[in-house]
Amino acid sequence: MITYEGGGLRALAEDGRWPELLAAYRQGRAAAVAEAGEEAAAALTAPLGHLIAYAAPPELAVRLFDPDGGAGTAAGVADHDAGPLWEVLATRHSWLRLAPLLGPAPVRRLVAHTRALLGEDLSYGSEPDPEGVPLRLEPWEAAGWDETARVREYLPGGGARSALLTLPASREGLGGVELPAAAQSAGRPDGPRVARALAGLGALAPWAATACVRGQAPAAAALLARDRRVVGGYLPFALAYPALVRAAAVGRSRGCAHGRLGLWRALAAMARAVGSGFPGDPGGPGGPDRADPAEGASGIDRGEVNALVARMRCFTWQEPSAGLHHLHVALEDPAGGVAWVVSGSQEL
């Protein structure tokens, strides 16, 4: 079976013989699929795929994802080494170079949103996102983190550097806070929109717990915090945004574009869940219903999401023992009196 371990393949790379390397990748992947299945094939050929995605000319690198080589030869969105192969490719070339070349729609979309995260404005001359997620960063998306830290920094021979997911990152700006003792009595919202928003937040960080409460952010935090007395405080949503995006990229098979798309879905569901789940409230039992994209209406409403972010209050707190990846944040929508909480930690 052909893998990147052979010195001959490294020599081909040094000589720029990329068509031969692509042929070796396709041959090795197809043979591995036939012998061991799709998942094993993706793992065995990923190091060579990384090399091609990182260093080959874009005209050839995009063909990693092209099924024209036959069954089992094309990389999919889950093929990864230090990170998804499509994310490696997206960090190496502008959308102007890649747009005319990329074929498969799922890969094309993830590459486009990676380029948006890296600061490109794709809102003009590009096909619109199917869900309505903007193809350029909103000001609140760009405000909270440095452009160079938004996506993994990939290395030519394999491997990557990325910032740790830590929220809160330190005690700076935080203080002693007594969380409410009877958060449960504030009421747990119910209804399809609340469930959809919780599912969206849970998809961002499957290793974390999520909950929703009718009340303020500290009441939501009390549902999942280990102690009533915590070191915590409020911060702008722009400073919480990077951690929420990175949460979906914990693990090598997912990239930060997954996090951005998932967070926009969750925020859209949260915006539509204002007041839902309570008798007589708009959208709740006995109240008038509103259109929902998941129920056949149009996609994400950027104006609704921007309005939610503008009014949202974010509360974060420290836990006594946090893993190297940790996320502890409650998101309060004062307009609806509803707060959402995501809390969990994970070792590397």
Tell me whether residue 35 is in a domain. Answer: yes
Question: Tens digit of pLDDT for each residue in 224-266?
Answer: 999 999 999 999 999 999 999 988 887 788 999 999 999 999 9
Tell me whether residue 17 is in a domain. Answer: yes
CB 233 within 8 A of CB 316: yes
Question: Residues 173, 269: one domain?
Answer: yes
Question: Residues 134, 218: one domain?
Answer: no
Question: Residues 94, 228: one domain?
Answer: no
Question: Tens digit of pLDDT for each residue in 88-112?
Answer: 999 999 999 999 999 999 999 999 9
Question: Which residue range(s) make up the domain with 338?
Answer: 166-346
Tell me whether residue 2 is in a domain. Answer: no
Question: Residues 205, 144: one domain?
Answer: no
The CB-side HSE value for 13 (13 A sphere, CA atoms) comes to 22
Q: What is the pLDDT of residue 322?
A: 67
- Answer with the residue of higher pLDDT: 205 or 179: 179
Both tokens assigned to 291: 């259109």
Helix (H) or strand (E) holding 175: strand 175-178
Number of domains observed in the structure of the chain: 2
Question: Residues 29, 86: one domain?
Answer: yes
Helix/strand/coil percent split, the chain, to 5: 45, 15, 40
Exposed / middle / buried, residue 154 (Cβ in 10 Å: 0-12, 13-18, 19+): buried
The model scores a pTM over 0.85: yes
Question: Tens digit of pLDDT for each residue in 278-317?
Answer: 433 444 433 433 444 443 344 899 999 999 999 999 999 9
Question: Residues 136, 182: one domain?
Answer: no
Coil, strand or helix: which one is 345?
A: strand
Question: Residues 196, 288: one domain?
Answer: yes
Tell me whether residue 26 is in a domain. Answer: yes
Question: Residues 145, 228: one domain?
Answer: no
Question: Residues 279, 237: one domain?
Answer: yes
Question: Residues 219, 270: one domain?
Answer: yes
Q: Quickly state the pLDDT bin for 10 (edges 50, 70, 90).
A: confident
Tell me whether residue 201 is in a domain. Answer: yes
The residue among 134, 161, 188 that closes a domain is 161
Coil, strand or helix: which one is 182?
A: coil
The residue among 108, 127, 161 that closes a domain is 161
The residue among 161, 189, 213 that closes a domain is 161
Tokens 């609704």, located at residue: 304
